[in-house]
């Protein structure tokens, strides 16, 4: 099953299809399918079979999401919609003769990325609001399980704790470590992992926050800028403007998470109930850091690592 981080492959492939359709005035499967898959495979250094798998798994998920909405329509309306959709799909295929007889589709076909973005935006915003970024190494079907936990923060937290128990946590740490280019920061990260595995959660989170800042800074357009919220906000908006729907959701997730983590606090007032960077780094926190608090930051680092993994450095 395709993972969320593999959405970068799906998005790139969709971009290739759009370029070919604009060039040739429509969709010609015989002319577009193979070049789109080949160029995507070359861009990500993966096999064409892998591109094919990812593309069709994401396409199927989008179709399932759309069909679920269609099935909620009244039967007569549902029938008319399905008949029109079938006609539009035939007319959209320029290798077939239907468009010459029937003309262009009655309306632009909804793109799979738009369907998935609409489906998951509210979920992404909610879990970020309660302290969790998108776990990009999770498969796309498990998002349905997370969706069922909206409104139950205790069970949602337990879900992430269980998910990152054992092997998944070690896999996540290896992925993060590979994307840290600064040797000193890599050593620091591994010391955070050791502290976490030995139950020293306060030491772990205090240092882990500096590693997170370093990784987010990679995406800044100004090396002197230390405003993490500005970087995340800029990237979320930039990816949305580029119509990189899934990437924009990833950055939306990070933006919401960082806003909460960096929320300004009056130290004369009670400490926030969620971890706060300023209270921790300025030595004002009076709360005992728990395992889940550390996992939140590890998970955020994993999100950034996945974005970084599929993003050419020269673009930044």
Chain segment 137-162, per-residue pLDDT in tens: 777 667 777 878 888 889 989 988 98
pLDDT at 109 over 60: no
Above 50 in pLDDT, residue 313?
no
Q: Is 92 exposed, middle or buried (0-12, 13-18, 19+ CB in 10 A)?
A: middle
Is the pLDDT score of 316 beyond 50? Answer: no
Residue with the two structure tokens 């800042």? 213
Whole-angstrom distance between the N-terminal and C-terminal Cα of the chain? Answer: 30
Which of the pair, 34 or 276, is modelled with greater confidence? 34
Structure confidence at residue 51 (pLDDT)? 94
Cα torsion through 2, 294, 260, 3, rounded to 10 = 0
Give the phi and the psi of residue 93 in degrees, each rounded to 5.
Answer: -85, 105
* pLDDT at position 87 over 80: no
**Crossing angle of helices 291-309/153-163, nearest 10°?**
70
The SS3 assignment for 3 reads strand
Mean pLDDT of 244-259: 83
Mean pLDDT for all residues in the chain: 84
Q: Is the pLDDT of residue 223 over 80?
A: no
Per-residue pLDDT tens over the stretch 29-54: 999 999 999 999 999 889 999 999 99
pLDDT for res 199: 95
CA distance 194 to 207: 12
Cα separation, 45 vs 34, whole angstroms = 16
**pLDDT at residue 150 in the model:** 84
Phi-psi map region of 151: left, alpha, beta (phi>0 left; psi -120 to 50 alpha): left
Cβ atoms < 10 Å from Cβ of 235: 24
Q: So what's the pLDDT on residue 113? A: 67
């Amino acid at each position: 099953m395709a993972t969320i981080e593999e959405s970068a492959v799906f998005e790139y492939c969709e971009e290739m299809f759009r370029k070919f359709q604009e060039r040739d005035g429509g969709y010609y499967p015989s002319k577009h399918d193979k070049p789109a898959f080949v160029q995507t495979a070359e861009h990500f250094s993966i096999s064409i079979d892998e591109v094919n798998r990812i593309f069709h798994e994401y396409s199927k998920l989008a179709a399932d999401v759309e069909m679920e909405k269609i099935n909620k329509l009244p039967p007569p309306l549902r029938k008319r919609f399905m008949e029109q959709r079938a006609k539009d799909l035939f007319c959209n295929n320029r290798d077939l003769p239907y468009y010459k007889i029937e003309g262009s589709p009655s309306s632009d076909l909804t793109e799979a990325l738009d369907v998935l973005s609409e489906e998951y935006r509210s979920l992404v915003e909610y879990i970020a609001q309660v302290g969790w970024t998108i776990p990009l190494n999770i498969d796309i079907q498990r998002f349905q399980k997370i969706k069922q936990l909206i409104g139950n923060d205790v069970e949602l937290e337990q879900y992430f704790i269980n998910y990152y128990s054992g092997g998944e946590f070690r896999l996540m740490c290896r992925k993060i470590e590979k994307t840290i280019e600064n040797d000193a920061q890599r050593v620091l990260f591994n010391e955070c992992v050791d502290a976490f595995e030995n139950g020293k959660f306060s030491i772990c989170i205090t240092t882990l926050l500096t590693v997170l800042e370093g990784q987010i800074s990679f995406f800044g357009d100004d090396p002197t800028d230390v405003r993490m919220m500005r970087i995340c906000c800029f990237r979320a908006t930039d990816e949305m403007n580029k119509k990189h729907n899934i990437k924009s959701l990833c950055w939306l997730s990070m933006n919401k998470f960082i806003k909460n983590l960096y929320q300004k606090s009056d130290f004369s007032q009670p400490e926030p109930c969620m971890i706060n960077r300023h209270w921790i780094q300025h030595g004002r926190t009076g709360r005992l850091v728990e395992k889940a608090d550390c996992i939140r930051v590890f998970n955020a680092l994993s999100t950034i690592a996945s974005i970084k993994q599929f993003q050419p450095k020269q673009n930044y």
